[in-house]
Amino acid sequence: MLSSEIEIEIRFSETDAMGVVWHGNYLKFFEDGREAFGKQYGLEYLTIFDHGFFTPIVKSEIDHKAPVYYGQKIKVITRYHPSRSAKVLFSYEVINMSTGQLAAAGQTMQVFLRRESRELELITPEFYRAWKEKHQI
């Protein structure tokens, strides 16, 4: 299974009045995880864009397990999940590196939109099929 890791320092602006990371910011961490994955395996947003597509998020889920405080560091583990349809599926684990605890888990689903028309592409784009083949998925 293809996966990737990235370490992130919490910004002060990412905390809320409870003194912990505001829950919605985990979608930014997931985004960081996807980008780290894309960089490692050659599937960056800009690569996809150059092939004529956007890949907007159409579904996301977050399960919060433990709070993360300012001054703590996190690690995001991003795992790629193969799909037969024209979708990109990732799952994520956010580890609080200061405690070793799992802070959150989640997943996202992305689809392919044609860049110009913004129409949904239902057939796996050729570049993505080639990418999967290269990685034996």
Using the rule CB under 8 A, which residue among 2, 3, 5, 15 binds its own copies?
15
Using the rule CB under 8 A, which residue among 52, 70, 102, 124 binds its own copies?
70
User: Position 38: which residue type?
Assistant: G
Using the rule CB under 8 A, which residue among 41, 51, 52, 60 binds its own copies?
60
Within 79-98, the residues that bind its own copies by CB under 8 A are none
Compare residues 15 and 124 and give the one whose CB is closer to its own copies: 15
Strands 87-96, 57-64: pairing is: unpaired
C-alpha distances (whole Å) from 50 to each of 87, 96, 127, 132 are 18, 35, 10, 17
Nearest approach in angstroms of CB 9 to its own copies is: 7
CA distance 30 to 32: 5
Query: Smallest Cα–Cα separation from 64: which of 116, 23, 36?
Result: 23
**Residues interacting with its own copies, by CB under 8 A?**
9, 11-13, 15-20, 22-25, 27-28, 31-32, 35, 44-46, 54, 56-64, 67, 69-71, 118
